[in-house]
Structure 1
Amino acid sequence: MHMNSAPHLLAEDRPEYERILDDALRHAHERPDLAGVGERLNAVQLRTMALDATELITSTAATEYQHYVRAREELRNPAEGEDQDASPGSTTDRPHRSGAGVGAVVTVLAPVLAGTAAFIFLLAGYLLKLLDPAPSFASTMVSAGWFFAVVTAAAILVAAVGLLATALRNGSTPQPVEDDEEELPEDVARAREAWRHALLERGILPFLRDALADPEAGPASRTPLRSANRIPKIGYSRPDFSSPDDGPAAGPRPTFTSPDFTSPDFGGPEHELD
């Protein structure tokens, strides 16, 4: 994960920086000055180095970027006000939306409820007709069951027509084409294009050329943020733990010899002294 990010580069513009970098690496073979991509350094290594050097690269187009951000903010402020003014009016659409929701619920539930009623009335009516004598309301229940059966069929037909109409309407509506380029006013679009051009020509391409021109280039040694000019050395060194020099001459060390434990000249009683 790359923790080095330019403080003046907003988070929403970071993907744009990476997109310009990827495009430059993708078309590097079309530039003679970048023909060495893949020999000393490959595209992945160059991309890693450029992401680590985001602060250094984007600083080359700081003026154009500030102008672009300022123009974009001036565009967004009135838009926020219009959104706030339009938000109270959006409540007027709620009855229409709720009405559409009720219609959808009725369209779905009507066949289910009518079919259930038709099944109950028909089953009960024909069971009552099996009795002897059959109750008088058995025929009425059978008629009611057939009535609900017709309602069920009509509800299913209406629901099918509604689904077909919705599908045709959605299919005929042109879907907006998703594009990375937002529809911006001319001044904002010009400011963004100026920043992109400056970022590519004065930042990304010179960085890639310098990285390829150095025969000892590498992802770690070519990272500008870790060069010796940017990281001062701390005035501290580890203490010298070397053995001290010979001190004052010491006297000769005493020698210790074991005592002479010779056996005494001692004999038995027959060897008494004269």
Structure 2
Amino acid sequence: MHMTSAGHLLNEDRPEFARLLDEVLRTAHERPELALVGERLNAEQLRTMAINASVLLTTAASPEYDHYVKVRGELREASLAAHSAAAADVAADGPAGAGVSAMIAVLAPVLAGTAMVIFLLVGYILKMIEPQPAFAETIITTGWLFGALTAVALLCAAAGLLVTAVRNRATEVAADSGDTVPDEVSRAREAWRLALLERGIMPFLRDALADPGAAGLPVPHTPRAGRIPDLGYTRPDFTSPGPTSQGSRPGYTAPDFTSPDFGGPEREPE
């Protein structure tokens, strides 16, 4: 019998907890107490919080879970004992009963058929010899007797197979007649699921929606698509330059170019 510590599920039952949680979140729009799903916290955030707090949630349904594990373990032990007893019966009866019968059913037609072929073949060969031996007809008659024995052995083997098939079918029907124990396991499983839902999952989800910090766990952050994360600093304030009419423009004057003072050939430079 498996014993579990408080709030800890066996590995085979953890997927059942996850399926129940997913079912509740999938049908949240049908539950008035979960109408706020998607406003403060979405379904994926709630699922992450519930999985992280699975020990706390499953502890609320510990009595029902312990009963479920107990009933399931008793069923498995009973089934294992029944299979062991059946295997012991087969091992005890096989060599003395079924083993000898099967051996005879297989070997008798083979041996009789082989003897038939040999006697008939030898008899007809002897009958072709001149002068014909007197015992050739006797050998041929013996061969046909073995042929009749082969046919009888085949009929007996077929009857034995038919009786074995009917016996096995009757055993299977008798074994399937007791289905009350699996029903008890099913009832214990449903009682655990109901207690886990009403005392564990639903109160946790309601508290998480009312106050995300009520469960004592950090709220997982799910970034929105296309949103740039806040890196903790502000961008510099760039401003575009004003129009050309605003402010003062640097002034300049064109250089004063004058033509060189050329004199005639008769003018001497001073």
TM-score (norm. length: structure 1): 0.51
Q: What amino acid does structure 2 have at the position aligned with 1:106? A: I
The offset of 1:106, in angstroms, is 1.6
C-alpha deviation, 1:139, in angstroms: 2.4
Change (3 A) 1:58 1:102: same
For structure 1, the 5+ residue unaligned runs are: 1-5, 218-223, 230-274
1:237-256 residue CA offsets vs partner (Å, 9 max, x unmatched): xxxxxxxxxxxxxxxxxxxx
Distance in 1 (CA, whole Å) between partners of 2:89 and 2:168 is 24
Q: Is the 8 A contact 2:65 2:192 kept in 1?
A: yes
Partner Cα distance (2:46, 2:61) in 1: 20
TM-fit CA distance, 1:195: 2.8
* Shift in Å, 1:72: 4.6
Distance 2:154 2:59 in 1: 66
Gap change, CA 1:110 and 1:209, over 3 Å in 2: farther
Structure 2: stretches of 5+ with no match in the other structure: 1-5, 221-270
Map 1:1-20 onto structure 2 (within 5 A).
8-14=8-14, 16-17=16-17, 20=20
Aligned to 2:113: 115
Checking the alignment, whether the CA contact within 8 Å between 1:46 and 1:208 is kept in structure 2 is yes
Going from structure 1 to structure 2, the CA distance change for 1:149 and 1:32 (only over 3 Å counts) comes to same
Matched with 2:137 is 139
**1-structure distance, mates of 2:198, 2:167:** 48
**CA 179–127 in structure 1, closer or farther in 2 if over 3 Å, else same:** same
Alignment of 1:150-165 (within 5 A): 150-165=148-163
Provide closer, same or farther for how the CA distance between residues 14 and 228 of structure 1 changes in structure 2, counting only shifts above 3 A. Answer: closer
Which position in structure 2 is the counterpart of 1:198? 195
Structure number with greater Rg is: 2
Of residues 127, 145, 148, the one that matches 2:146 is 148
Q: Which moved more, 1:117-126 or 1:173-182?
A: 173-182
Supply the RMSD in Å over aligned alpha carbons. Answer: 5.3
Q: Deviations over 1:67-86 (max 9, x none)?
A: 555x559958x969x95xxx
- SS at 1:182's partner residue? helix
Residues 52 and 182 of structure 1, relative CA distance in 2, 3 Å threshold: farther
Contact 1:50 1:204 in 2 (8 A): yes
Q: CA deviation at 1:14?
A: 3.8
Per the normalisation by structure 2, the TM-score is 0.51
Residue number in structure 1 paired with 2:65: 65
Q: State the distance in 1 between where 2:183 and 2:133 align.
A: 76
